[in-house]
Structures are given as C-alpha cells and as structure tokens.
Amino acid sequence: MTELYDRPLAFVDLETTGATANIDRITEIAIITYNGRETSAWSHLVNPETRIPAFIEGLTGIRNEMVADAPVFKELAFEIQQRLKGHIFIAHNARFDYGFLKNEFKRLGQDFRTSVLCTVKLSRKLYPQYKRHSLDSLIERHELSVKERHRALGDAEVLVQFWKLLEQSFDQSVLQATIKELSARPSLPPHIDSERIDEIPEGHGVYLFYGENDLPLYIGKSNHLKQRVLSHFSSDHLASREMSLSQQLRRIDWIECAGEIQALITEARLIKALQPTLNIQLRPSKAFCSWFWNDEQERAPLLRLVYARDLHFGRQDHLYGLFKNQKEAKNTLSTLAKEMKLCPVVLGLEKGTLGKPCFAYQIKRCKGVCCGEESWLQHAIRLKLALSRLKLKSWPYDGPAVLSEGAVKHVIDAWCYLGAATNDEEIETLLQEGTPSFDKDTFRILVKHMHHLQPLKRSAVEE
C-alpha cells in the first residue's frame, strides 16, 4: 500500500466521441492501478453505439470499424467497477473522465461514486510557477515518455510517470497534505443529493439556496459556480452561519451567466425580488438620496439633498454620492467639511448666522467664508474639489446602449438595465417594454464598465 494515502490509486483515461458527458460516449478506457510498489494496467476499446466523428477519428486514431465488434459499456461495467472499487480515481482534468463514467453508469441505472483527484489541480498546486498544466505541458516540462498520445493507455501511463516523479520530488508530508486537500469531498447537507451537485456548472452564474416551504435562504454569485457552492459546505463545521445554512438547506438552483457582469446584475435583481433571509447587502431600497450642486443663485446654498423620487439619473448632471438616507449623506458631507476646512453653516450642516464666525472657524476648522475671511468662490472651488470623488457619472449617450459580454448584449438606458439579448429582435423587444426604475446597485456595477458601452445604432432601435 502506498504510504502517501490509505487507499490504492487508479489512474484513468478515456477516449470519447466528443466533450459532452451526457450526450457523447466512451470509445476506449484505460485503468492503471498502483499500490505504491506495483502497477497493473488494463484497457479496452468500447463500442459507443454511435458514430465517431471524423475529427475524433483523426485525433485519437480510433476508427468506427475498430469499435464495431468491441463490447458496449454495459458488458464492461462490472470489470470497471471492480478495478476502481476502493481506489482513488486519478485523471487529468478528472471532471471530464469522472463525468463520462458517471453518466455511463447512470444509463444502466447504477450510481457511480468515488474519491477523485485531478492531476491538473495537483500540478497547479505543486508547480505554481508555471502557467500551463495541460498533459502536453507536463510531458514536455518533466520529460515524460509517451507511447501513444490521445490513446487511453498511453495517456494513463503518462499520469503514472508524473505521479512517481512527484513521489521523488516532494517531501511525503507535503505531497500527502496536498492530496488530502485536493481529493477531499465536502460533506453535503443531508437533504442535498450529490448528483445534484455534480450537475452544477463550473463557470459564471448565480446560485439559489432554498429551505423549508421553498423559501429562499441565500443567493450568491460566482465566476466558478460549482466551486463556490461546495465552499459553503466545506467550512460548515467552522462557521455557525454556514452550519445553520446547511441544516436549513433543502434545494439548490442556479442560473448560468455569460460572464461576471450578468452574474452580478442577476444576483442583485434576484435578492431584491426574493429577499432571501441571509442576504442583507443588496436588499431593495428606494429611499436613497444624493447631493445636487446648485449654483444658480449667488450666495444660495450650494448643495441640496434630492431623493430618489425626484432624481433623473443619466439625464441629470451635478449629482454627488448615493446614500441610503439623509443621515448617511450629512455624515459624509460633514467628514469632507472637516478634511477641507469647509464651513458647516454655509453647507447647512449646522445652524448659525452668516457674517459671524462659526464654531468651526473659532477652532480653526473653517477658513472663514461665514465671516468674510474667505470668498464664496474660493469656498465653492474647495467644496467642488472635495466632492469630486463622489461625483456620479452621467449617462454619456442620447439614447440606449449595449454592453457586450460573450454572446450576450446587455441593453442599458440612462443606467437602467433593460435586460440581456442575443440578437436585434430581442433588443427591440427590450426597448419596447420600457425603461425600469433606476437601481443604485445595478448602477454601481454598470458604471465600472462604461468604457465598453456602445451606443445602439438607429437601425437597431427604430421600429
């Protein structure tokens, strides 16, 4: 038995008719078991019960006539189970190989589960100085020999060589800790099936946790959806909040997104619509306000608070800050006044009589605009400079614009998010549905990407 782990290892490689586990099929399988001393290799062609595309024939060398008389997966299933039973399943990009085997067994009405270790992740962890960790990169970097690339047994033999190299190159304790970390599968909440977890995609998206009576508990977003969902459970024994979430959890749903922008916007909108009990930050709020710069009349107050109901974001300039309430707005302005020695009386933060020194002037925190020591113009210039960091970006176009993300186009007008579209017809539909109300969280997401906005051409918006 290998000293590095308490179970023997099984190095697995598959050749398939394509890359989609629930559609494509296996054409060849290789399993090399290793107990720390000896290896035992087994491989077999598999009749996929469907045609092998010409591109795959050229890549692997496995032709349709070669598998015509080979056994179908059902005939090999027991042999495969016996060879993998009690072993740690090791593959390069293990999700691919494990997913294909799991789907093949599922078609037979059987459940296939085992501990999995991915050599891509292992290489990244142990060799972080390198950018590439494909099998070809490993072969070249470590001078591994390969008999038949893109054949199951040849590629599995490469993995065995890589493993033995690791045994020689790293201290046993380091390698053991790394293997334990990467192969650990978090314990799932009692009401969540592992098959449901396996279905979660790896890319951008939003996930939704539901409790009893289908009530939303928590909504989150991630650029690595499955990894993020599992992270909630891997730490549930350490954090009381995660433990509580795991105990209440009954169902998991998710929405795949084109990229991070769509994930952020979708998360914010869903939290406002569903109001899950454990989300606080993005709850709906329509009572926000902003400072408006008013210099129409000489010696009139330069700032006044305007509230959401009176704001026209994107069509209105001279707005500073988005505050959840009047108190937050005044506290922010008060902080700026102290930093820049602005007059709190002139700003309307304190009561006082113009022409007389304010209290801040007496303690040298005001330069004296209140008593004529500083001109109104000088004070206004310094005030505007202090506010510059809070200035809200006004909408740069006369009409709507799009923000492209992969195949999706986000349609936006005056910082209001109309929706996502993939063609001109869908864009037209979104425009006809009208502009939703301004949302401060969506604004904060979109404004970070304003340099990638493209105004809609007239032909795209005309009926």
The catalytic residues are 150
Distance CA 241, CA 257 (A): 27
Backbone angles phi, psi at 322, to 5 degrees: -120, 115
The Cα angle at residue 198 between residues 16 and 235, in degrees rounded to 5: 140
Q: Vertex 122, ends 120 and 128: CA angle to 5°?
A: 90
Question: Could you give the angle at the alpha carbon of 19 between the alpha carbons of 15 and 22, nearest 5°?
Answer: 100
The pair phi, psi for residue 134, each rounded to 5°, is -70, 165
**Closest to 438 in 3D by CA, of 285, 291, 321:** 285
Buried b (16+ CB within 10 A) or exposed e, 232-268: bbeebeeeeebeebbebbbebebbebbbebbbbbbbb
Alpha carbon 88 to chain centroid distance? Answer: 29
